[in-house]
C-alpha cells in the first residue's frame, strides 16, 4: 500500500523549517531591515537637522506637499528593499538546487507543484511580515523625528496608510519575483543579475514620456510603488490610477508564483 500523500499543511511546516534552519536567514532579514530603516531615518534626520526657523505657512506647505510621507519611505530605501527581498526569494530556490537538497525534497514529495506552492506561501507570509515591520517602524520613526520641527504627520493623515501598505507589500512582491527568477535560472550569480535588472534597471530604462514606454513603466513593481506613494495627482503625459498600481502588485506576485511552480514542474522530469 503506497504511503499517503503529504498534506499541504505538512509541506508548509517543512518549508518553514527549511527557511529557518539556515543560520543566514535571520541575519539577512535583520540586515535588510536595518538598512532600509536607516535610509529612511537618515533622510528624516537630515531634514530635522537642517530645518531653519520657518514660519507656520512654510510648515503647512511642507506637509501639504507630501514631503513627510515621501520621507517616511524614500526611493533609495525602496530600491534597497527590493534588492534584498529579491535576493531572499532567490535563495529559497537556488540554495536548494546548489546543495542538492531539492532532489531529496522531490524524492520525498513527488508533487512538485505542491512543494513550490508551499514554498511560495511561506516566503510570501514571512516577507509580508518583514515588510510590514519595516514600513511601520520607518513611518513612525521618521514622523517622530519630523515632529521635533512640527512637520510630522500621523498614521491617520491622508495617504499615510497607503504609503505604509504599499511599502510593506513591495517586499513579498520582490521576494516572489526573485524566487521565480531563481527557479528559471537556478544559478545564483545570473539569478541575482536578472532579478536586479528586472526590479531596478528596467524602471530606469523606460520613459514615461512616450505611450508604449509609459505602458511598460506602469507595468513594473517599482513604478507601481511610486504611484501608490506619491501625493496628489501629478501632471504627467500618461497618468494612471492607484487601482492600476495595486493590480500590478497582484499580477507580479501571482505571475511569479505561476512561473516558479510550472518551471520546476516541467523541467528535469
For 188-203, write each residue's pLDDT tens digit.
Answer: 899 999 999 999 999 8
Is pLDDT above 90 for 96? no
Region 157-164 average pLDDT: 95
- Distance CA(106)–CA(113), nearest Å, equals 10
Is pLDDT above 70 for 54? no
pLDDT at position 1: 47
Is pLDDT above 60 for 269? no
DSSP 8-class letter at 269: -
Region 128-134 average pLDDT: 97
**Residue 66: is it exposed, middle or buried by C-beta count within 10 angstroms (0-12/13-18/19+)?**
buried
Q: What is the CA radius of gyration of the chain?
A: 21
Mean pLDDT of the chain: 89
| Cβ contact 139:154 at 8 Å | no
Region 113-140 average pLDDT: 95
| Cβ contact 77:119 at 8 Å | no
Region 147-153 average pLDDT: 91
| Distance from chain centroid for Cα 189 | 20
| Cβ contact 28:84 at 8 Å | yes
DSSP 8-class letter at 50: H
Region 127-136 average pLDDT: 97
Amino acid at each position: 500500500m503506497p504511503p499517503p500523500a503529504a498534506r499541504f499543511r505538512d509541506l508548509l511546516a517543512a518549508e518553514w523549517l527549511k527557511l529557518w534552519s539556515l543560520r543566514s536567514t535571520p541575519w539577512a532579514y535583520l540586515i535588510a531591515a536595518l538598512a532600509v530603516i536607516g535610509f529612511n531615518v537618515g533622510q528624516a534626520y537630515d531634514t530635522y537637522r537642517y530645518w531653519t526657523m520657518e514660519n507656520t505657512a512654510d510648515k503647512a506647505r511642507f506637509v501639504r506637499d507630501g514631503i513627510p510621507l515621501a520621507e517616511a519611505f524614500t526611493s533609495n530605501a525602496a530600491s534597497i528593499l527590493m534588492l534584498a527581498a529579491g535576493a531572499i526569494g532567490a535563495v529559497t530556490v537556488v540554495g536548494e538546487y546548489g546543495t542538492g537538497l531539492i532532489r531529496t525534497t522531490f524524492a520525498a514529495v513527488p508533487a512538485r507543484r505542491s512543494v513550490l506552492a508551499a514554498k511560495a506561501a511561506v516566503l510570501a507570509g514571512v516577507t509580508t511580515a518583514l515588510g510590514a515591520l519595516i514600513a511601520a517602524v520607518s513611518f513612525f520613526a521618521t514622523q517622530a523625528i519630523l515632529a521635533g520641527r512640527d512637520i510630522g504627520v500621523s498614521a491617520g493623515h491622508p495617504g499615510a496608510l497607503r504609503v505604509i501598505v504599499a511599502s510593506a507589500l513591495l517586499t513579498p512582491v520582490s521576494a516572489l519575483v526573485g524566487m521565480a527568477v531563481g527557479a528559471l535560472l537556478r544559478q545564483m550569480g545570473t539569478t541575482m543579475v536578472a532579478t536586479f535588472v528586472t526590479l531596478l534597471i528596467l524602471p530606469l530604462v523606460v520613459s514615461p514620456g512616450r505611450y508604449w514606454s509609459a505602458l511598460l513603466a506602469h507595468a513594473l513593481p517599482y513604478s507601481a510603488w511610486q504611484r501608490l506613494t506619491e501625493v496628489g495627482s501629478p501632471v504627467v503625459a500618461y497618468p494612471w490610477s492607484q487601482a492600476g498600481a495595486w493590480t500590478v502588485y497582484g499580477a507580479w506576485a501571482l505571475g511569479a508564483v505561476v512561473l516558479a511552480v510550472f518551471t520546476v514542474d516541467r523541467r528535469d522530469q
